[in-house]
Amino acid sequence: MLDETPLVEIRGLRFGYAGRTIFDGVDIDIQRGKVTAIMGPSGTGKTTLLRLIGGQERPDAGTIRIDGANVPALSRRKLFELRKRMGMLFQSGALLTDLNVFENVAFPLREHTELPEIMIRDLVLIKLEAVGLRGARELMPSALSGGMARRVALARAIALDPMLMMYDEPFSGQDPISMGVLVKLIRELNDALGMTTIIVSHDVNETAGIADYLYLLSEGRVVEHGTPKRLQESGSEWTRQFLEGLPDGPVPFHYPAPDFARELLELPSP
Amino acid sequence: MIDTLQQLGAWALQRLERLGRSHLFILRVVVGLPELLARPGLVVQQIFAIGVLSLPIILVAGLFVGMVLALQLYNTMVNFGAEQSLGPVVALSLVRELGPVVTALLFAGRAGSALAAEIGLMKATEQLSSMEMMAVDPLRRIIAPRLAGGILAMPLLAAMFSAIGISGGFVVATGLLGVDSNAYWSQMQANVDLFDDVINGVIKSVVFGMVVTWIAVFEGFDAIPTSEGVARATTRTVVNSSLAVLGLDFILTALMFGDNG
Ligand SMILES: Nc1ncnc2c1ncn2[C@@H]1O[C@H](COP(=O)(O)OP(=O)(O)OP(=O)(O)O)[C@@H](O)[C@H]1O
Ligand SMILES: [Mg+2]
C-alpha cells in the first residue's frame, strides 16, 4: 500500500477525430486510492479520454500507462485481461437491452467467473442493493428511466470489484436524493474496496465535493490541476469562470464557428 | 469527365475496401466459432430466434408455391400425357431449386434484416462498446452465435419449405386435378435421388444461409451508429443478400446439375 507511483500515467497525449484535434499534449496522473475528477466544458473530449484509457481508441502520440503497462501497445489478449480489472460507467448506461436488470448485472460474472448460481445471485443482489434497485431486478432496460438505467449500469460495472473505476457523467439525470446517495456510494466504493476512481463530469459542486484532485481540461490541454481547495482559490480567470459557472469570460460556450452576424447576412449559396 | 472518372474510381475503391473489411471480419468470427462448442446454449437460442422468426412466412409461402407449381406444371404435362409424373417434377423443382432459393430470399427479408437491425442498434446504443469494456469480445459473444444459428437454421427452413410445398402440390394434384395419389408418391420415390437431388439442395441452402447471415451480421456491425445508419444497413442487407443468393444459385446449379445433360 506504499506504492506511490500513479495508477494511470498519461504523457504527451495527442488525439484527433478525422483532422479535428481533441487532445494536444495532455499529461495526467491518477493517484492510487484517490478520486480524481476530470472536468471541462461539454465537447472537450472527456468521454474520449475515458475511451483512450480503456483502449477503445488509439492515441496519435503519447503514452497511457496503467499499472506500468502502456495501453495502446498491449496485445488484444493483454488488453482484455486489463479490462477485467477496470469498470466503466457509460454516459448512456449502455445496458444490454435483451437482458433484464438482474441478468445485466450478472453478465460480467457469468462471462468471467465459474461461480455457482447461488453466489451469482447473492453478488448481484448485493450490487443492486447498493444502488437501491434490488426491487427492480425483473424489469427490462426499456422499463427504466435514464437515471435508473445508469444506476443499474453502475451495479454492473462494479460486479467484478475492479481496481480502477471510471464514471462518465454519473450525476446527470439524478434527482437530489439519488444524487446524494450516488456521491456517497462512489466515495465509499473507492475507500472501502481500495479502488482508484476517475470521474468525468461538468457538475462542479458534486464533483468538487468528493474529488481528492481535479483536472480542468479545455481545448485539448490541461488548463489547471490541483486539489479542489487550491483550484477554488485559483487566481486564473478561466478556472474561476468554469467553477462558478459565469456566462462571460474566457471559456467558450460555442462550438467553433464563423462570425454570427456575418453568417446571418450571407446569402445562401445555391 | 475526369470528375466522373474520379468519382467512379473512388466508389470502386470504397467498395473494394468494404469487401476486404467484411472478409477480415468473417475471418475473426470464424476463428471464434469453435469456442461455441463449450456454450451450445447461445447457438440454440439463436436457431430458435431466427427459425421462429422465419417459420410462419416460410410455411405459408411453401404451401402456395407448391400448389401453384402443381397447377402450372399439370397444364403443360397433360399435353404430353405425362400428368401422372407430376409428383417427381414438383418435388424436384422444390428440392433442387425453389426450396433453397425462395427460402433464402424470404430468410434474407425476415431474419437477415432483423439481425442487421439488432446488431446495428446494439452498436448505436453503445452496447457493443460496453461489452468490450467488460472484456467480452462482441465478435465472439454476439456475432459468432448468430452466424452459426443462421447457417444451421437455413437448411432446416428450406427442408420445411420443400416438404410443405410437396404436400400442397399433392392436395392440388389429387383433389383438384385428379392425379392418382399412389402415382404422385411412388413416382416421386422412384425419380428423386438422395444424393443428386436432396443433398445438393441441402448444400445450396447451407451456402445461402452462410452468405445471407454473413452479410446481415457484417452490415449490422459495420453500420454507422445512428438510426439512419441502421436503416441503411437493413436495406443493404436485404438487397445485397438477395442478389448474392440469385447469383450463387446460378453458379451452384451449373456446377451440380450442369453436366448431366
Ligand atoms: N466518433 C466520433 N467521430 C468524430 N468526432 C467525434 C466522435 N466522437 C466524439 N467526437 C468529437 O469529439 C469531441 C469530444 O467528444 P466527447 O464525447 O469526448 O466530449 P465530452 O467532453 O465527453 O462532452 P460531454 O460533456 O458533452 O459529454 C466532440 O467535439 C465531438 O464532436
Ligand atoms: Mg461525454
| Helices (H), ranges, A4-75 | 46-53
Tell me the pLDDT of chain B (261 aa) as tens digits: 788 888 888 898 888 888 888 888 888 888 888 888 888 888 999 999 888 888 999 999 999 999 999 999 988 888 888 888 888 888 999 998 999 999 999 999 999 999 999 999 999 999 999 999 999 999 999 999 999 999 999 999 999 999 999 999 999 988 888 888 888 888 888 888 877 888 889 999 999 999 999 999 999 999 999 999 999 999 999 999 999 999 999 999 988 877 754
H/E run at residue A38: strand A35-39
| CA dihedral of residues A208, A211, A213, A215 (deg, nearest 10) | -60
Q: How confident is the model at residue A249 (pLDDT cuts 50, 70, 90)?
A: low
Interface pTM (ipTM) of the complex?
0.83
Q: Which of A19-33, A253-267, B11-25, B227-241 has the highest average model confidence (pLDDT)?
A: B227-241
Q: Do B130 and A153 touch (CB under 8 A)?
A: yes
Q: Residue A269 pLDDT > 70, yes or no?
A: no
pLDDT class of A252 with cuts at 50, 70, 90: low
Chain A CB contacts of B119 below 8 Å: none
User: A227 phi and psi, to 5 degrees?
Assistant: -70, 155
Tens digit of pLDDT for each residue in A72-122?
A: 999 988 999 999 999 999 988 899 998 999 999 999 999 999 899 999 999
User: Which residues touch B213 (CB under 8 Å, ≥6 apart)?
Assistant: B111, B112, B115, B146, B147, B149, B150, B151, B154
Write out the three cell numbers for B31: 476463428
Q: Is the dihedral of CA B192, B197, B199, B202 positive or negative?
A: negative
Q: What pTM was computed for the model?
A: 0.86
- pLDDT for res A155: 92
- Partners of B136 on chain A (C-beta within 8 Å) are 107-108, 111
Q: Which of B251, B237, B215, B200 is nearest to B22 (CA)?
A: B215
Residues 79-138 of chain B with CB under 8 A from chain A are: 121-122, 125-127, 129-137
Which of A56, A84, A95 minimises the CB distance to B129?
A56
**Reduced to 3 states, what is the DSSP secondary structure of residue A177?**
helix
Measured CA to CA, the distance from residue B198 to residue B204 in angstroms comes to 10
Ligand 1 pocket check for A17: Cβ under 6 Å: yes
CA distance A60 to A15: 5
Is the CB of B125 less than 8 angstroms away from the CB of A97? yes
Across-strand partners of A165?
A: A87, A197
Q: Can you read off the three cell numbers belonging to residue B254?
A: 451449373
Q: Are A26 and A19 in contact (CB under 8 A)?
A: no
Q: Which residues pair with A64 in a beta bridge?
A: A10
Structure confidence by residue, pLDDT tens digits, A146-195: 888 888 999 999 998 899 999 998 887 778 887 888 888 888 889 888 89
**DSSP-derived 3-state class of residue A58:** coil
Kindly list the distances between the CA atom of residue A92 and the CA atoms of A4, A65, A171, B104, B221, in Å, as whole numbers in the listed order: 34, 26, 12, 37, 20
Question: Among B115, B128, B107, which residue's Cα sits nearest to residue B56?
Answer: B107
User: Strands A61-66 and A69-70, how do they pair?
Assistant: antiparallel
Residue bearing the bigger pLDDT, A265 or A40: A40
Q: Which of B121, B125, B136 sits opposite A111 (nearest CB)?
A: B136
**B216, amino acid identity:** A
